[in-house]
Amino acid sequence: MPVGNGRNTSGRRAEEFRRAIKKLIADCGTTQASLVPKVGMSAPVLSRLLNQGPLKSESREEFQKVVTACLSLPEAKDLPAEQQDEGYWKQFFDEAVNAQLADEGQEPPPSSPPPLPSRSPVVVVLVAVGVVLLGVGAWLLSTGTTGHSSASSPPTASATPSVTPSSPGPVPTGPSPAGAGAGPFPAHVSWTDDGAGSKLLATSKDPRAAAPNPDGRGYNPDDLLSVVCRIDGGRKVTVGPSYSGPNPQPTGTWYRLDTGGWAPAVYTRIDNAAPVPPC
């Protein structure tokens, strides 16, 4: 797996890890939207996990859910052998988090202690036999003390104690479809060809500025977005001659994302055609 050097190692490692997870999703023949019900996260939460912010050790379980869901798909058998092992992705995540903590002057979290060895079947059998022998000895002592013989059978102890299964926890569900006036709204990048050969949708800081002013975030086609509201008086985006996105006409409508950035409506498809309220 790739390794970075020097300062900003944490940022590079975090970005490399997220790019690798997105590639894993694509190589397994699925999309972020299709993973939402499988991983038990809402679409906005999954989008933030895969697209923004520093990596946190608390996110390890959420990323592992994504990896497990992808590796359970039939297409995963075509991945390189090392990427079919969940341990590869756990190590990749831990290295990225540790690099981030090192840049911040913090100590990496201690590794988990090895699990205790399970009891050998021979030990279990010996313990059960010992319990039975103790029961027989107690019965013989009681009959000898009273001076009376008894024809009843000696008490025996159960070799395997009964265990009451715990109740399963609640099953997480996916998000409800967004309605009018309720947000955020799940959406997807529908087009990225702006006539200049760009392959990424670069979100903007100010949709009303006369010239493009990217905020540093980029999204691939079909990436999941989380829309909060819209404006209708923004800069009109000129599309390329092969454009086949959701809106065939140049429009000044822009969507505000939960990241704080803005995406043009000509490149963004709102799931379920939900009406987005004005900002």
What pLDDT, in 10s, does the model give residues 218-233?
A: 888 888 999 999 998 8
Residue 180 confidence (pLDDT): 43
216 with 188: CB under 8 angstroms? no
Mean of the pLDDT values across residues 233-260?
Answer: 81
What is d(CA 36, CA 255) in angstroms, rounded to the nearest whole number?
Answer: 22
Mean of the pLDDT values across residues 134-141?
Answer: 70
What is d(CA 160, CA 37) in angstroms, rounded to the nearest whole number?
Answer: 40
Residue 50 confidence (pLDDT): 86
Extents of the domains making up the chain: 9-103, 185-273
Taking each helix axis from N to C end, the angle separating 43-51 and 32-39, rounded to the nearest 10 degrees, works out to 110
Burial of 176 from C-beta contacts in 10 A (0-12 / 13-18 / 19+):
exposed
Residue 278, pLDDT > 90, answer yes
223 with 163: CB under 8 angstroms? no
Mean of the pLDDT values across residues 123-137?
Answer: 67
Taking each helix axis from N to C end, the angle separating 9-27 and 60-71, rounded to the nearest 10 degrees, works out to 30
For 185-273, the fitting CATH number among 3.40.50, 3.40.190, 2.30.30, 3.30.70 is 2.30.30
Residue 240 confidence (pLDDT): 72
- Each residue's pLDDT tens digit, 73-90: 999 899 998 899 999 989
48 with 184: CB under 8 angstroms? no
pTM summary value: 0.39
Residue 4 confidence (pLDDT): 43
Mean of the pLDDT values across residues 190-216?
Answer: 78
